[in-house]
């Protein structure tokens, strides 16, 4: 089967030929703005002037003609509307003129599948980092699902904005990488991780302020990279732990960064997960990735009708069934969490859990020490505050700051992650109602958990017990409380709870006094990225 793939979501227009999963050719042309960022209509004009040339060049390199094509695939979204329409129009014209079936492909799916196919992986966790998108994606129950993403701007866009602030041209990432190679001083930047989600706007503001105040641009660039890459690998590891995947992929335009790839490889070795960083030539946008994903979609779901080829600027990856993937859930390693080694033992004839925060080799050593120390101290404080508020949490037996360890009572129960998907509708509603009652009590006490997922909630004979509030806060604002609810809902969805009537319990049990939090939650959802 021979597939022509056409890419045109943002700054790059490309065409690629794939034959039965093998890349035969790939040709791209990239729009480089003369000033500022990418203007959609200017980029679309660039694509319009170059799209015929890249398509014909790709066919020529493959040694085939339009008549030899079996399928036309194009980037349906997400992306910049004017650019998307250029690619879609070209694909429709070829499909109609040569009577070839057509498939509209999600852009992120293209990045994911071209890397997964090259790696030979069956069911990996994917860290996808580009200009507009920064996500942790994993397959679960028939679809690729987003387990974490940026809550404001993509990392690539953040790097471009900082580059413009210091007088560098587009794209900024490669130039910042070169500057970072000469950096030595780790500057303090916001480390913005909320559960599985990240935020980069605060880092951008702080970095620009450092530059304006006269800090060395090499040190600022170095600090940006060390901070941001560590944030992303942390949430990737948390996702791997959550679904017990044993393969992981790094892809997207930012994935060409050598320091990022080094840190990614170290993480894989450290946790015993097979890793694959996409080749640099296929990290950026290209037509071959669209052809690769389009071929899989066509073999599984058949072609799209012409009236279903309208572009979508907010096309999410979880809108496309991906039944060609079979979930390969591994065994949960109960001796290792995403942030700590965990051992079950006894203290004074009582069963206990010894939790030790071990160094992360992929992180800068100074940053790593600061994070472990801060989170361990915060967990100690939060456990006491939650207990004082009448919320069931593990009891602290011992606390050793020098050894970065804490000994806790063993919770007698089951993780919500392991049980919620097995419950009937009424049982699930009742359990979620109890959880949200606990969350409401916590929030009314001014506390937030910070990582309220199904991996940090135990079901016990007495009710609900919360664990690992190390990312929580005291005197929480509405945004932090809303993030708790958001993480809970997303975690439930990823555990198999998608019935709107069941999910409604998240809000039905929350209480009228928290109306401001629910309003903030609505605003938070509107800010979500588009893929």
Q: What is the average pLDDT across 318-322?
A: 88
Output b/e per residue, 75-93; b: 16+ Cβ within 10 A.
bbbbbbebbbbbbbbbbbe
Which residues of the chain form CATH 3.30.200.20? 341-409
pLDDT at 312 over 80: yes
Which residues of the chain form CATH 1.10.510.10? 413-526
Percentages of the chain per state (helix, strand, coil), in multiples of 5: 45, 20, 30
d(CA 240, CA 252): 19
Range scoring the smallest mean pLDDT among 217-226, 405-414, 448-457, 509-518? 509-518
* Superfamily (CATH H level) for 341-409: Phosphorylase Kinase; domain 1 (3.30.200.20)
Class of 120-281 per CATH? Answer: alpha beta
**Residue 335 banded pLDDT, cuts 50, 70, 90:** low
Which residues of the chain form CATH 3.30.420.40? 2-114+283-309, 120-281
27-76: pLDDT as tens digits: 999 998 877 778 899 999 999 999 999 999 999 999 999 999 999 999 99
d(CA 33, CA 169): 9
The topology under which CATH files domain 413-526 is Transferase(Phosphotransferase); domain 1 (1.10.510)
Q: Is the peptide bond before 511 cis (omega within 30 degrees of 0)?
A: no
Catalytic residue list contains 197: no
Q: Which CATH number fits domain 2-114+283-309: 3.30.420.40, 3.20.20.70, 3.30.70.980, 3.40.50.11900?
A: 3.30.420.40
Please tell me the predicted confidence (pLDDT) of residue 462. 84
Q: What global pTM score does this model have?
A: 0.90
Closest Cα partner for 30 from 48, 53, 14?
14
Given 160, 368, 451, 484, the catalytic residue: 451
pLDDT at 253 over 90: yes
Q: What's the Cα-to-Cα distance from 409 to each of 117, 345, 403, 477, 485, rounded to whole Å?
A: 45, 10, 19, 30, 26
Q: Which helix (H) or strand (E) holds 345?
A: strand 341-347
């Amino acid at each position: 089967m021979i597939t022509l793939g056409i890419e045109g979501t943002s700054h790059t227009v490309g065409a690629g030929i794939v034959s039965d999963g093998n890349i035969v050719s790939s040709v791209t042309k990239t729009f480089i703005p003369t000033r500022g960022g990418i203007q959609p209509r200017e980029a679309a004009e660039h694509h319009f002037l170059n799209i015929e040339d890249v398509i014909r060049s790709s066919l020529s390199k493959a040694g085939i003609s339009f008549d030899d094509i079996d399928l036309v695939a194009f980037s349906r979204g997400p992306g910049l509307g004017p650019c998307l329409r250029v690619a879609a129009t070209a694909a429709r014209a070829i499909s109609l003129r040569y009577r070839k079936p057509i498939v509209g492909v999600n852009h992120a799916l293209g990045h994911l599948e071209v890397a997964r196919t090259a790696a030979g992986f069956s069911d990996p966790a994917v860290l996808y980092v580009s200009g507009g998108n920064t996500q942790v994606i994993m397959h679960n129950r028939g679809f690729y699902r987003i387990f974490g993403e940026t809550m404001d701007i993509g990392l690539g866009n953040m790097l471009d904005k900082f580059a413009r602030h210091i007088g560098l041209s587009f794209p900024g990432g490669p130039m910042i990488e070169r500057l970072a190679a000469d950096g030595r001083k780790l500057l303090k930047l916001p480390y913005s991780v909320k559960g599985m989600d990240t935020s980069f706007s605060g880092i951008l503001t702080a970095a620009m302020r450092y530059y304006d105040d006269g800090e060395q641009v090499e040190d600022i660039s170095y600090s940006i990279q060390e901070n941001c890459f560590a944030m992303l690998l942390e949430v990737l590891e948390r996702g791997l732990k959550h679904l017990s995947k044993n393969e992981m992929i790094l892809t997207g335009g930012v994935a060409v960064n050598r320091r990022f790839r080094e840190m990614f490889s170290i993480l894989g070795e450290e946790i015993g997960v097979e890793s694959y960083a996409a080749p640099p030539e296929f990290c950026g946008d290209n037509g071959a990735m669209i052809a690769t994903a389009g071929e899989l979609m066509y073999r599984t779901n058949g072609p799209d009708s012409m009236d279903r080829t309208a572009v979508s600027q907010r096309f999410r990856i979880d809108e496309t069934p991906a039944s060609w993937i079979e979930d390969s859930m591994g065994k949960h390693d109960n001796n290792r969490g995403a942030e700590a080694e965990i051992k079950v033992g006894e203290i004074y004839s009582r069963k206990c859990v010894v939790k030790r925060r071990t160094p992360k080799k992929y992180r800068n050593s100074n940053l790593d020490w600061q994070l472990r120390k801060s989170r361990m101290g915060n967990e100690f404080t939060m456990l006491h505050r939650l207990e004082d508020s009448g919320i069931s949490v593990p009891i602290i037996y011992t606390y050793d700051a020098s050894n970065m360890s804490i000994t806790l009572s063993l919770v007698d129960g089951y993780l919500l992650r392991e049980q919620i998907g097995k419950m009937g509708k009424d049982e699930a509603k009742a359990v979620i109602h109890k959880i949200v009652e606990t969350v409401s009590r916590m929030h009314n006490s001014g506390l937030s958990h910070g990582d309220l997922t199904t991996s940090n909630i135990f079901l016990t004979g007495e009710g609900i017990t919360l664990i690992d509030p190390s990312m929580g806060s005291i005197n929480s604002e509405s945004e932090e409380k809303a993030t708790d609810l958001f993480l809970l809902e997303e975690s439930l969805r990823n555990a198999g709870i998608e019935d709107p009537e069941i999910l409604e319990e998240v809000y039905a049990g929350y209480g009228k006094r928290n109306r401001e939090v629910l309003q903030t939650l609505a605003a938070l959802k509107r800010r979500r990225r588009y893929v």
